[in-house]
Amino acid sequence: MQKLALVKLGGSVITFKDKALTANTGAIDGISGALVQLDMPVIVVHGGGSFGHHWSVQYDMHTKPAPYDPHGVAVVHESMIALNQIIVNSMIKAGANPYAVAPCMFTTGHKAIAAKVRQLYEMAKANNVIPVTFGDVVHMGGRKYSILSGDALMSIIAKVLKPSRVIFATNVDGIYRDMKTRELVQELKSARRNGDPVEFSKTAGADVTGGMQRKVREAFKIASMGMDVVLVNGLYPERIVQAAHGEVQTGTVVVKKGRK
């Protein structure tokens, strides 16, 4: 396991999901201010929110590889670059050293190009550069494209780098045992076969990649590779800092396989 914080910024934190193409610049600036405090290598992945998902819905594009409208491919990709620029510029203003990396630079299809992923770590470790990548539409060969979610990128990167901290920041405090009482699950050990230990909101809305349920699935996948995964509320950026330091006061830890 390497000293590294792999942080996913969910679309629900960095954009207003119900307002097309609108970034939550206040939240982004708060997170930039938190990330610059981290005294360890960091890699950031961000989601699409009301940028990528807005256009993916309009052009009926999904994670399933298919010959989608090439104009949709152009528009979805451009919207993600635009959101990435907002985040990168905010981090620069905060004094961090972000480096934008489209996922096609280190993946092929939905698989890692391991040497390129390791290079991201080397950049983060050598001199505090923070690679910032994102969910995107990617080429799958021939006329086919697919949406590759930021959550899937978390698994792809974690598998190669085995980061010491894996953090998903969303707009909720963690995983709720019960949506009505909002009772937070502090630790999740393993997916139960009979009956889910968690309740998922049915309001996936405009999210083409599966919202919270998808995040939890990826978190379990990463935990099964031997890493704890923390889900925190990114609207309280200090919780990202605490999680990176191994302290989780308000959040959910998906416990790594093998830990009692």
Question: By the criterion CB under 6 A, which residues form the site for ligand IP8?
Answer: 11, 47-48, 52-53, 56, 76, 80, 135-137, 147, 149-151, 208-209
- Cβ closer to ligand IP8: 52 or 237? 52
Phi, psi of 118 (to 5 degrees): -65, -30
| Minimum distance of ligand IP8 from residue 159's CB (angstroms) | 17
User: Residue with the closest Cβ to ligand IP8?
Assistant: 135
Nearest residue to 40 via CA among 129, 168, 103, 108: 129
Nearest residue to 50 via CA among 95, 80, 78, 26: 80
Residue type, 27: A
| 9 marked as part of a ligand binding site | yes
Nearest residue to 255 via CA among 200, 183, 191, 201: 191
- Cβ closer to ligand IP8: 65 or 150? 150
Q: How far apart are the C-alpha atoms of 14 and 234, rounded to whole Å?
A: 9
- Cβ closer to ligand IP8: 145 or 176? 145
| 53 marked as part of a ligand binding site | yes
| 234 marked as part of a ligand binding site | no
| Minimum distance of ligand IP8 from residue 19's CB (angstroms) | 16
Q: What is the largest CA-CA distance in the chain?
A: 50
- Cβ closer to ligand IP8: 70 or 246? 70
What are the C-alpha distances in Å from 28 to residues 24, 167, 234, 237? 6, 16, 9, 9
- Cβ closer to ligand IP8: 48 or 174? 48
| Minimum distance of ligand IP8 from residue 126's CB (angstroms) | 27
Binding-site residue positions for substrate: 48, 53, 150
Binding-site residue positions for ATP: 8-12, 49, 211, 215
